[in-house]
Structure 1
Amino acid sequence: MKLKRKNVGAGILMVLFTVLFFVLTSKFFLVASSQSAEGVDLIEYGKRKWMKSDVLDAKRGTMFDRNGEVIAQDIPSYSVIAILDKNYPNHIKDPEAAAEKLSEVLDTEKDELETLLSKEGRFQVEIPSGRKVSYRKKEQIEKMKIPGIDFLRESRRYYPNQTFASHVLGYTGNGESGVQAGVMGLEKSLDKYLQEKDGKITFVGDAFSRAIPANKESITPPKHGQDVYLTLDEKIQLYLDEAVQEAAKKYKPEKITGIVADPKTGRILAMTNSPSFNPNKKDIKNYTNYAVSYPFEPGSTMKIFTLAAAIQEGKYNGNEVFQSGSYKLPNIGRPIYDHNRRGWGPITYNEGVQNSSNVAFSKLVREKLGYEKFRSYISKFGLDRKTNIDLPNEKNGSILYNYEIEKVTTAFGQGSTVTPIQQIQAATAIANNGKMMKPYVIDKIMDPETKKTVLSNEPKVAGNPISEATAKQVRDILETVVTDGTGKPYMIDGYSVAGKTGTAQIPGKDGKYISGWGENVFSFLGMAPKDDPKLLVYVAVERPKVEFPEMGSTPVANIFTSVMKSSLQYLNIQPEAKQKKDSVNVKKTYGKELPDYTGQSAKEAKSELEKLGMEVSVIGSGDEIMKQEPYEGAYVMKGERVILRTSGDAKMPDVKDWSYMDILRISKLLGLKETITGSGFAVKQSIKPGNPVKEGDFFVVQLEPPMETEPEKKENKQDSDTTSEEDTEEDLPITD
C-alpha cells in the first residue's frame, strides 16, 4: 500500500516537472523568438546594462605664430572626484582623514570637504575647488594616496604668453553642449575651423564600467580642430606688449594701441591694446580691439597723406615760402592758427611740415591741391572705408566733408575720424614705393592630421595711390621731421626713421573738446630704415597722466623707439654705417638746447633768444635772472615762449593769447596755484596785467580755441566746436 502511494506521488511530481519544463521551454523559445519579455526589449535592456561608452577627447585647433611657436593650445586639465558608493572597491573610507589631506592643496576648508565627502546616496561627487587643476596639483594629490579619490581628464584652452595679443586671439568658453567655443577675437571668428568633435568608444563592461576582456569595441575616432598659423611674430609681439604694459603702469592712460606691420606684404607682426587681459584668467576690463574698432581724429599723422597727395599731383614746392601763424578763410569767423598760434614767421613748406604747421596744410589743400582732388586721395588711400582685415568687429571712420571748414581741417587731421589699421594700410603706400598693401593676420589654416592647407592668404595690393618717386620724396621729408622737427624724440641711434607725430583732441559728452594737460590722444606713425622700410609702427596713447613739464607724447616715444629698435635688431637689420645728410632742403628749425641763464643779464639773454626767433617774457624789476622756464637743457623751437624771472618784485604780464603750456610755465615759475578752463589760448585772466603777484596766489585763466565754426548743420558730434589747433603740447620736444 505504501509502495503504491509512493509511485503515485512520484508520478505526480514527474507530471509537474514535465509541465514546468514545457512552460519554461516554451517561454524560452517565445523570448528567444520575440526578444522581449513582459513588454521589455531584452536586447535594449542588455545594451543599457552591459554596454558602456566613453568619450574620446578631441583637441581644439592650435594657434601658432609665423615661426611655428604655439600661442594658443588645448592642454589636459583634471577635475577631482570622490567615489562615495561603498559597493565600489575604491571608495572614500574615512571622510575626515580625506578632507584633512585635500584641504592642504585645495582652496577649501576641511569641514566643508568633510561634509561633501560624507553625503549619503551618491555614487560620486565632484569637488568644486578641484575643477580643472593643473597636472602638478594632480600629482600632489596622487602622492597622498587617498582611497576613493580619482580624476576626470578634460581639456582646457591655454595661452602660454599670458596677455600676448589678447584682443587678437580672444578666448573660449563652454558652449551649450559643454564643448569649447570661441567667445571673442580669432577664437570666435575662426570657431568653425578651430572647433573639435569628440569621438566615442563603446564596449561591454561590468557594473562598475570596467571593460570585460575579449569583447569587441566600437570606436568612432575624434576629429581634431584645424590649426591656425598667424602672421604675428612672437618676439615682436612680446616687445610691443612689454613696452605698452610698462607705459600703462607708469602713465595710467585711458587707452593705448600699437601695431607693427611689414609694409612690403601687409602682414601684421604685432598688435596690442591697453587695458589688456590674460585669457587664461578672463580678467577682462576692455573687450574692444582699439586697433581696428576705435575710430578717432588722427591729428597730424593725417598730414602724411595730404603731403603725399600734393606731391603726387605736382602741387608741392617745398622751397616755396608762406606766412605761418594764421590763415583766414572766407566766411569763417576766426582764422586757422598754427598750434603755437604765433607761427614761425615766413617759412618754406618743407619747414611747415617739420613744424607741423596747420596753416601750411590748409593752404596746400585749399589753394594748390583743391578740395575734390584731395577727397579723391582720401579714397585712394582707403581712409574712407574698412580695410577688411581678417579680424572681427572692424569699424569704419567718418570723413566729414560737407562744409569748407571740414575739408580744410580734415587735411591736418581734425573733425574726420579713422582707425589705426586704416592709417597703417595707407602708410604702406609710403613705405612700399606707392603700393598699398592690405593688412592681414591669418597666414594659413591646416588640418593637423592630413597636413592639408584649408585656407591660405597671400600679400594683396589694395591700391596704388602714389608713384615710387612720390613715396621716396615723402619719406625724405618725413625723415627731417624726426631729425630736425617735432619727431626728434623718435630718433633711433643707427637707423633712419621717417614719420609724423600726431595729437588729437577728444570730444567730451557735451560735444566740445576736453581740455587739460595730457588730455589728448598722442600718436606717432613711423617707418625704418627710411630708404627701404622693413617695419611700419603706429602707437597711440590716450590721456596719459603726465605732470608738467613732461609731455603727453613721452610714453608714445618710449614705446615706439623701444619696439622699433628691438624689432630691427631681432630681424638682423644692420644699423646704417653713417647717417645720411638731409636730402631735402630744410632749415634746422627745431631750435636749440636752452643754456642756464641764471645769474646773467636779462637784457642780454632776451636779445640772444629773440635773435633765435623765440618769444621772451621778462618778469621782475631787476636785471639779474633768478629762474627760467623752460629749464636748462630743454629744447625750444623757433616761436616758442621763454620766460625769465629776474630779481625784484614780480608783476603779472598780459597773458592774452598765451598757450596752455605758457600758462603752466609762468605758474610754475612764480609759484602760483593755477586753474585753467577751456582749451586753446588765453582770453581772460583773474590777476590783471601789472598787478603784483607773490608765491601761493590763485591764478584763474580762461582759454578759448583759436577758431570756432558753426556750420548750418552738424553732421557729427565730434565736429562741433572744431578748432584748428592740434594742442598746445603738439610739436614740442619731449623733455626729460
Structure 2
Amino acid sequence: MKNGQVNTNKIVINKFVFVICLFLFVLIAGRVVYLGLSEKIDGVNIKTMAQNRNTRKETIVANRGTVFDSAGEILAQNVSSYTVIAYLDESRSKNQKTPQHVVDVEDTANKLSPILNMSVEDLTNLLTKKAYQVELGPGGRGITEIKKEEIDNLDLPGIDFIQDYKRYYPNGDFASYLIGYAKTDEEGNIIGEMGIEQEFNSELSGSNGYLEYQKDLMGYKIPNTPEVKIDPHNGNDIYLTIDSNIQLFVEQALIKLEAGGSFDWATITVADAKTGKILATGSKPSFDPNIKDITSYLNPLTSYEFEPGSTMKIYTYMTALEKGTYNGSDTFTSGKKVIEPDTINDWNKTGWGTITYDQGFALSSNTGIANMLETMIDKDDLYDYFKKLGFGKKTGISLPFEENGKIKFVYPIEIANAGFGQGITTTPIQHIQALSSIANNGTMLKPYIIDKIVDSDTGKIIFKGDKKELGKVASSSTTEYIKKLMYDVVHNDPAWATGTAYKIEGYDIIGKTGTAQVVDEDGKYSKTSNIRSFEGMFPKDDPQIMIYAAVKGGKESSSLPDAVTKIIEDTAKHLNIRATNSEVTKYNTYSMPSLLNRTVEIGNNKMNELGITPIIIGNGNKIVKQYPSKGTIIGNYDKVFLITNDTNLSLPDLKGYSSKEVENLCNLLNIKYNFSGTGYVSNYQEIVENNLRILNVELIEYYKKE
C-alpha cells in the first residue's frame, strides 16, 4: 500500500513538473516569437541596437578652400603633413621578415636628430619608453612631404607616419595680417583665427561627409551589406583683389623701412582709385603664418585707431570748398593762434608771416585751419562732412575687428584740433575710402578685398566683388581744387611745401603729409613719439593709384618718402602707367585689330593711330604673325609684336622687358627660353642648338634704364 501511494505521489509530482516545464516552454517560446515579430525588448528595438553596435560611421573630411590673389596665385592652401611615430614593442616584429619596431635606439636618434631639429637625448628618452608606440614630438609633428621623404630614405625600422593636413602659406610673411592664419584644433578641424581665414572661415571650411556601413568583430566591412555615403562639400575658394607684384613692392619697401631704423609700427596700403580694390597692404612688425611668430593680432589697416594729424586738412579744406565759403587767396597771420585759454602753434613754432590759405595747405599750417574754423566753417559743418566721408564708422570691408574711429569735438580748442587731425581717431582704410572721392570727381567708393568666391567642387562663381559707389560727397569743382592743392604739397619749392620729398621726376603724384602727436600712458601727448603719414594718388588729372602710409615712432628721416616713391614707381611700371616730360600719359585701352596679311606700312600706321608703336620683327613687307591676337584688349603701353615674312627674324633689345613680354615674343618666334630670377630682363643671350633657338634670360625685380 505504501508503495502504491509513493508511486501515485511521483506521478503527481512528475505531472506538476511537466506542467511547469510546459508552461515555461510556452512562455519562452511565446517570448521568442514576440521578440521575433516585435524586435523590441523593454521598448528598445534590438535589431536597431544590434545594427548600431555593428555600424561604423567614418567622417569624410572636407578640404578647406584655397585663398588666391587676383591672378590665381596661391596664398593659402591645405597640404599633407605628417606626425612621426616610433613602434617600440618587439611583438610587432614577430613572424615578420624584417623588423617592425625600433631595433637600434642610438642609430635612430642620431639620424633623426638633425631632420626633426631635436636633440639626440630627447629622442633617446622617447625611444626608450615602455610603450607600444610613441610620437616623436615636438619636432616630428606637422612635418612636410619633403621631410617625410628624407626620413623614408633612411629606412629606419619601426619608424612610421600618421598623415594629416595643415594650412600652408607658400609666400611666408606676405600680406600676413590680411590673409591671417588657420590652425588645427583638438578635434582635427582647421579653424581660421585671423584675417581672411577667420572672416570667411565657414565659406572656406565647407561641410564634412561620411561613410556608414556594417562591420564585423574585426572592424572590417561586411560584404553585401548596405552602406550610406554622403560626399563632403569642400570649402569654397576665395580670390582676393591683391596683386602679388604690388604686394611684393609693399613688402620690400617695408623691409627697407624697417632696416632704416626702429619704430613701433608701419603700415602701407595701395588701392585702385577707380574701383576701390585693395591692391596691396602690409605692415611691420609682421609674421610668418606658417610659424605664427606673432606680436600683435590686430591688422593696422582696419583695427588701428590713431590721431591722423595733418592729412585731415584735406577734408577740412573740402568742407569749406563744399560750403562755398573758401577763398584760397584770402590771407591770415601764421605762427600761433590763441583760442582761450589755449594756443595753437604751427609745426615750426614761428610760422611764415602773413600767407594765403592755399599756401597754408602746402605748408600744413595749423593756424590756417584754426582761422578757417572761425571765418569759413563751424563745428557742425566739420562734423557733418567728416561723417559724410565715412570717418567715425566702419567701412564694412570684409576683414575682422574693424574699428569705427572716433569723431567727437565740442569745445573751440577741440574743434580746431579736429580740423588738423588731433583729438579724433581714424583708421587707414577710412582714409583710402575718403581719398576715392577725390579720385572720382566727388563720388566715394567702398574699398573691397574680395574679387570672387568660387565653389571648388563645381567651379561656379557664387560671389563677385565689384565697384560700389557710396554716393556723391563733393562737387567736381571741389575735387579739382583739392587736387591742385595736393599737387602743390609735393611739387612746390621745398621752402613752401611739406611733401617735396615725395616728388618723383616725370610723375605728377599728389598728396598730403601728416604728423600727429601720440598720447602716452599718462594720457598726455608724448614729446618723443609721433605718427608720420602720407596719403596721395597718381596721376593727378585721372588718378589710377591711391596710397596711404603711416609710421609710428622712429626718427624723422627720408625713409617713409623713399618707401612710398619706390612703391609708386614700381606700381606705375607694373600697371603701365607711364610719364613723359614730367606729364603722365593717360592709359587708354583698345581692341587689337587683325593685321595678318597686311603690309607692314598699313599695320604700322594702324597701330600708330591707336597711340601704339609696334615692335616689327624682320625686314619683310607683309605681316604673317601678330601678338596680341585679334580682339584682345590692349593698352597704349602694351607691347605689340608684328612678325614679317622675312627669313632673318632677329630679336629686338630685350633689356627692361618683363618676363611675360619675353615669353609672348618667344612663343611667337618658336624660341625656347630659360629664366633665372624674376621681374625684368637685365641680361640675355641667344644660342642655337640642333637648329633650335634658345634664349637664356637673367631677370631682376626692378630694371632702371641707364
**Does TM, normalized by the shorter one, top 0.5?**
yes
Alpha-carbon distance between aligned partners in 1 of 2:100 and 2:567, rounded to the nearest angstrom: 57
1:535 maps onto 2:539 in alignment: no
Report deviation, 1:528: 0.5
Of residues 82, 94, 115, the one that matches 2:103 is 94
Q: Number of aligned pairs?
A: 542
1:105 maps onto 2:101 in alignment: no
Q: Residues 334 and 132 (structure 1 numbering): CA distance in 2 closer, same or farther, change over 3 Å? A: closer
1:443 maps onto 2:448 in alignment: no
- Please give the TM-score of this superposition, normalised by the length of structure 2: 0.71
Q: Is the 8 A contact 1:227 1:446 kept in 2?
A: yes
1:505 maps onto 2:514 in alignment: no
* 2:565 partner SS: helix
Partner of 1:429: 437
Counterpart residue identity of residue 289, structure 2 = P
Counterpart residue identity of residue 186, structure 1 = I
Partner of 1:342: 350
Q: Deviations over 1:546-583 (max 9, x none)?
A: 3xxxxx25222122111111111111112243349xxx
1:75 maps onto 2:79 in alignment: yes
Q: Mean Cα displacement is larger for which, 243-252 or 129-138?
A: 243-252
Q: Is the 8 A contact 1:95 1:117 kept in 2?
A: no
Q: Is the 8 A contact 1:172 1:180 kept in 2?
A: yes
Partner of 1:562: 566
Of residues 236, 242, 252, the one that matches 1:226 is 236
Alpha-carbon distance between aligned partners in 2 of 1:146 and 1:199, rounded to the nearest angstrom: 36
Alpha-carbon distance between aligned partners in 2 of 1:482 and 1:254, rounded to the nearest angstrom: 26
Q: Is the 8 A contact 1:381 1:463 kept in 2?
A: no
Report deviation, 1:531: 0.8
Partner of 1:307: 317
Report deviation, 1:462: 1.9
Q: Which residues in structure 2 correspond to 1:464-503 (within 5 Å)?
A: 464-484=472-492, 485-503=497-515
Report deviation, 1:497: 0.8
Higher relative contact order (CA 8 A, sep 6+): 1
Q: Mean Cα displacement is larger for which, 458-467 or 92-101?
A: 92-101
Counterpart residue identity of residue 373, structure 2 = V
* 2:160 partner SS: strand
Partner of 1:370: 378
Counterpart residue identity of residue 426, structure 2 = V
Q: Is the 8 A contact 2:508 2:582 kept in 1?
A: no
Q: Is the 8 A contact 2:516 2:532 kept in 1?
A: yes
Q: Deviations over 1:299-344 (max 9, x none)?
A: 1100111112222222222222332222334xx0344222222221
Partner of 1:281: 291
* 1:390 partner SS: coil
Q: Is the 8 A contact 1:65 1:229 kept in 2?
A: yes
Q: Is the 8 A contact 2:51 2:214 kept in 1?
A: no
Q: Residues 429 and 106 (structure 1 numbering): CA distance in 2 closer, same or farther, change over 3 Å? A: same
Q: Residues 380 and 100 (structure 1 numbering): CA distance in 2 closer, same or farther, change over 3 Å? A: closer
Alpha-carbon distance between aligned partners in 2 of 1:371 and 1:263, rounded to the nearest angstrom: 30
Alpha-carbon distance between aligned partners in 1 of 2:48 and 2:405, rounded to the nearest angstrom: 66
1:186 maps onto 2:196 in alignment: yes
Q: Is the 8 A contact 1:380 1:463 kept in 2?
A: no
Partner of 1:261: 271
1:168 maps onto 2:178 in alignment: yes
Partner of 2:282: 272
* 2:525 partner SS: coil
Contiguous gaps of at least 5 residues in structure 2: 1-27, 585-706
Report deviation, 1:204: 8.1
Counterpart residue identity of residue 508, structure 1 = D
Partner of 1:514: 526
Q: Is the 8 A contact 2:509 2:539 kept in 1?
A: yes
Report deviation, 1:114: 4.7
Q: Residues 370 and 142 (structure 1 numbering): CA distance in 2 closer, same or farther, change over 3 Å? A: same
Of residues 454, 467, 470, the one that matches 1:462 is 470
- Please give the TM-score of this superposition, normalised by the length of structure 1: 0.68
Alpha-carbon distance between aligned partners in 1 of 2:152 and 2:218, rounded to the nearest angstrom: 21
Q: Is the 8 A contact 1:82 1:91 kept in 2?
A: no
Counterpart residue identity of residue 494, structure 1 = G
Partner of 2:135: 126
Alpha-carbon distance between aligned partners in 2 of 1:212 and 1:116, rounded to the nearest angstrom: 39
Report deviation, 1:394: 1.0
Counterpart residue identity of residue 238, structure 1 = L
Alpha-carbon distance between aligned partners in 1 of 2:45 and 2:360, rounded to the nearest angstrom: 93
Q: Which residues in structure 2 correspond to 1:676-687 (within 5 Å)?
A: none
Q: Which residues in structure 2 correspond to 1:483-632 (within 5 Å)?
A: 483-484=491-492, 485-516=497-528, 519-544=529-554, 546=555, 552-579=556-583
Q: Residues 117 and 523 (structure 1 numbering): CA distance in 2 closer, same or farther, change over 3 Å? A: same
* 1:304 partner SS: helix
Q: Is the 8 A contact 1:247 1:559 kept in 2?
A: yes
Q: Deviations over 1:119-160 (max 9, x none)?
A: 5563x4322232111111111111122333322211110111
Report deviation, 1:502: 0.3
Q: Which residues in structure 2 correspond to 1:59-74 (within 5 Å)?
A: 59-74=63-78
Q: Residues 83 and 216 (structure 1 numbering): CA distance in 2 closer, same or farther, change over 3 Å? A: farther
Alpha-carbon distance between aligned partners in 2 of 1:81 and 1:52, rounded to the nearest angstrom: 26
Alpha-carbon distance between aligned partners in 1 of 2:441 and 2:580, rounded to the nearest angstrom: 20
* 1:283 partner SS: coil
Partner of 1:248: 258
Q: Is the 8 A contact 2:102 2:156 kept in 1?
A: no
Report deviation, 1:522: 0.4
Q: Which residues in structure 2 correspond to 1:390-409 (within 5 Å)?
A: 390-409=398-417
Q: Which residues in structure 2 correspond to 1:350-365 (within 5 Å)?
A: 350-365=358-373
Alpha-carbon distance between aligned partners in 2 of 1:43 and 1:416, rounded to the nearest angstrom: 67
Alpha-carbon distance between aligned partners in 2 of 1:365 and 1:540, rounded to the nearest angstrom: 27
Counterpart residue identity of residue 227, structure 1 = D
Report deviation, 1:56: 3.9
Q: Residues 378 and 114 (structure 1 numbering): CA distance in 2 closer, same or farther, change over 3 Å? A: closer
Alpha-carbon distance between aligned partners in 1 of 2:428 and 2:512, rounded to the nearest angstrom: 14
Counterpart residue identity of residue 94, structure 1 = V
Q: Residues 140 and 349 (structure 1 numbering): CA distance in 2 closer, same or farther, change over 3 Å? A: same
Report deviation, 1:183: 1.3
1:416 maps onto 2:424 in alignment: yes
Counterpart residue identity of residue 77, structure 2 = Q
Alpha-carbon distance between aligned partners in 1 of 2:56 and 2:436, rounded to the nearest angstrom: 60
Partner of 1:619: none
* 2:310 partner SS: helix
Alpha-carbon distance between aligned partners in 2 of 1:93 and 1:527, rounded to the nearest angstrom: 65
Report deviation, 1:84: 4.4
Q: Mean Cα displacement is larger for which, 482-491 or 218-227?
A: 218-227
Alpha-carbon distance between aligned partners in 2 of 1:203 and 1:127, rounded to the nearest angstrom: 34
Counterpart residue identity of residue 238, structure 2 = V
Report deviation, 1:207: 9.0
Q: Residues 126 and 199 (structure 1 numbering): CA distance in 2 closer, same or farther, change over 3 Å? A: farther
1:141 maps onto 2:139 in alignment: no
Alpha-carbon distance between aligned partners in 2 of 1:119 and 1:359, rounded to the nearest angstrom: 76
Counterpart residue identity of residue 101, structure 2 = I
Q: Mean Cα displacement is larger for which, 104-113 or 167-176?
A: 104-113
Q: Residues 190 and 450 (structure 1 numbering): CA distance in 2 closer, same or farther, change over 3 Å? A: same
Alpha-carbon distance between aligned partners in 2 of 1:182 and 1:506, rounded to the nearest angstrom: 33
Q: Is the 8 A contact 2:507 2:582 kept in 1?
A: no
State the superposition RMSD in angstroms: 3.2
Report deviation, 1:499: 0.4
